[in-house]
Amino acid sequence: MATSLESVTRVYGQGSSSVKALADVSLRVGDAEFVAVMGPSGSGKSTLLNVIGALDRPNRGRVVVDGQDIARLDARAAARYRRRSVGFIFQSFNLLPRLTVLENVALPLMFEGVGQRERIRRAAAVLTEIGMADRLGHRPPTLSGGEKQRAAIARALIANPDLLLADEPTGNLDSNTATTVMRLIADLNRSRGQTVLLITHDLQVASYARRVVRMRDGRVIDGESEKEGVHEAV
Amino acid sequence: MKPSDTLGLALQNVRRTRLRTFLSALGVAIGTAAVVALVAAGNGFQNIAVDRAARFGSLTEIIVFPEQDNGTPHPITPTTVASLRSIAHVASVDLSLQTPPIRVQLDGTSADLPSGARTPVDAGGGVLSRATPMPADGVLLPVSFVKKAGETATSVVGEPVSLIAGSSVCCATDRNTLTVLGPDHTFQAHVAGVYDDTATATPADRGSNPSIVFVTAELGATIDGAFGGLTGGEYIDHQGYSSALVTADDARQTSAIAETIRSQRFRVQDRADLLAQVHLVFTIITAGLAAVGSIALLVAAIGIANTMIMTVLERTREIGIMKALGAEPGAIRSLFLVESALVGILGGLAGVLFAFGSVLLGNAAFSRFVQNQNPGNTVPDLFIVTPVLIAFGLGLALAISLVGGALPSRRAVRLQPLDALRYE
């Protein structure tokens, strides 16, 4: 899914205490591309991701996803866009602790109005695909960090979205688990052709992407062209 | 999101916070019970008031008069009487006929008295004696006249009596009686009974007009018909009765019966207005009682609002996750409103059950109290719970819980997904 930001500005707060998280950012992400966004804390990486995912609205500029300016969507249309077109993978997993893994993964389909039997079937299939078949009935607090993130990835994939947005997906994982998770994301990018936009501080993690975008002080400073290959995905 | 999924999630959340749900539902239960019990009491008071008022009799009585139907007289004939008697909840139909003043002659004593014809002739209070069976040519005499004739109330029953109507009979004593012009006619009759017209009798027992001679409607028709050369039957078929007193078996049916008679093109007088006023007063009292009970429900609504605001705060992050995963504003609103509604329904059911039990106990205690105070006396229920009242109680509990949940659900809907996800 082709995504482009055109002169996007996002300012938090007002007056002297205002913070410009994104300053006139323009960026284009091609269909099925795997892009890593790197930069120091406060550089605007997460804001960029949130704006593309319609979790946040820019003050100025256009965010065009598949020909549609999602910055202009009302709350209902934005929810529909997130549900059908975007899969979020958060650093802190954001699983609902009182639901089982299966129920967590099936949640986006519930909001879509899919019947219980069908959504459970599809959730079980995705969880099996990423090697979580033996954890369907577990609740998140009983899972390891890697398992939680894999469950979160399964949830992001359940609606088969065109765009995967991952905000430091390995931030809470040890290096071995992080490698497993990154291989999974890279495999999904290749096998499913989903566009992946990933935020990371970690060069090792960024090496799985085909392009690295660097940000500083709310601006893109590097990465408009494809990288020469820090790390080849396995 | 499907309604069944909303309900499932809401049930899960309600189960997860059992104590909080119980306490909120308890508030609703107390409010609902108060409303149902107070309205039941209002219903009971109304019922007792109507029941007592109906015992005065007048509330069950309808007076029917003949009506002019486009200039043509529409009399109360025997056919009409049969029709009146066939109306549902009609207990009796008493007939009356205006008759001229009559000279009564008994044992050589005579008196000119105003007269009235009615069936049954011994209707009304203060009857001291009566013949069994009642003769068709019966006369009910005032005891003052009977004493003047040297008889007693019991000795005179069944005795023959002569009645004279005509221009020689003095009619100046009562300006309401008909003035009859024409030769005197004499009619033979029998004493059907004696009533108390003396000053010692209470006004109610003495009747509306003391010292009247009452004759049966049949005899009255014969007397009236004689002046036109008609038999009694011919006179009634042609002129009809002056009026009919229709008595209902239940005061609450009076209006309906009056309306039925009115639809048959007769003029009707009833006490429906009085009964309507009694109903109105008690409806206002019942509404007042319901309003008092509603204060408790209002407090419960504030409790629900407080609980749900706490719930929204606690689940802010969860709301953020749901929004990030594509939950639409309507789904979030429905989820919190359904949770509020579940509390309302639980509380409402408990409140109605509690009120119902209290009402049963209250009625039993009231009945026992009345029996102790007035043995053999029965009274209607003090509290009356109707299916409509139960539905009203449940509906009110549901409405109040939705009102209580409206503000918190609005807050949940207005939460920005990003702010909610970052909430600690």
pLDDT tens readout for residues A143-171: 988 899 889 989 998 988 999 999 988 88
Q: How confident is the model at residue A229 (pLDDT cuts 50, 70, 90)?
A: very low
The one-letter amino acid code at B231 reads T
**Which helix (H) or strand (E) is B347 found in, with range?**
helix B329-373
Mean pLDDT of A23-52: 92
Tokens read off for B48: 């007792």
Identify whether the C-beta of residue A102 lies closer than 8 Å to the C-beta of residue A136: yes
pLDDT for B422 equals 83
pLDDT for A5 equals 92
pLDDT for B319 equals 93
In terms of pLDDT, which residue wins out, B43 or B175? B43
Q: Which of B325, B334, B415 to mutate to test the interface with A (most CBs of A within 10 A)?
A: B325
Left (φ > 0), alpha (ψ -120 to 50) or beta: where does B211 sit?
Answer: left
Closest CA to B225 of B117, B380, B338, B385: B117
In terms of pLDDT, which residue wins out, B251 or B188? B188
pLDDT for B55 equals 63
Residue B272 predicted with pLDDT over 70:
no
Closest CA to B20 of B275, B271, B342: B342
B174-183, B294-303, B384-393, B394-403 — which is least confidently predicted? B174-183
Contacts of A111 in chain B (CB under 8 A): 1, 322, 325-328, 331
Contacts of residue A125, defined as CB under 8 A and 6 or more positions apart, other chains included, come to none
pLDDT for B238 equals 87
Interface of A with B (CB under 8 A): 50, 53, 55-56, 75-76, 79-80, 82-84, 88, 90, 94, 96, 98, 107-108, 110-113, 115-116, 155, 159
Closest CA to B282 of B57, B48, B36, B58: B48
The answer, for B205 touching chain A at a CB cutoff of 8 Å, is no
Tokens read off for B88: 């549902």
Contacts of B12 in chain A (CB under 8 A): 98
pLDDT for B54 equals 62
Residue B348 predicted with pLDDT over 90:
yes
Q: Which of A110, A117, A155, A168 to mutate to test the interface with B (most CBs of B within 10 A)?
A: A110
> What is the rounded average pLDDT for all residues in chain B?
85
Closest CA to B46 of B281, B361, B366: B281
Q: Which of B16, B320, B323 lies nearest to residue A79, judging by beta carbons?
A: B323
Q: Which of A10, A51, A55 to mutate to test the interface with B (most CBs of B within 10 A)?
A: A55
Q: Is A234 exposed, middle or buried (0-12, 13-18, 19+ CB in 10 A)?
A: exposed
Q: A97-124 pLDDT, tens per residue?
A: 989 999 999 999 999 999 999 999 999 9
User: Within a 10 A sphere around the Cβ of B250, how many other Cβ atoms?
Assistant: 15
ipTM surpassing 0.85: yes
Contacts of A79 in chain B (CB under 8 A): 323, 326-329
Mean pLDDT of B147-175: 80
Q: A48-66 pLDDT, tens per residue?
A: 999 999 999 999 999 999 8
pTM score, whole prediction: 0.67
Task: Give the C-alpha separation, A60 to A4, whole Å.
Answer: 14
Q: How confident is the model at residue A224 (pLDDT cuts 50, 70, 90)?
A: low
Residue B274 predicted with pLDDT over 70:
no
pLDDT for B206 equals 43
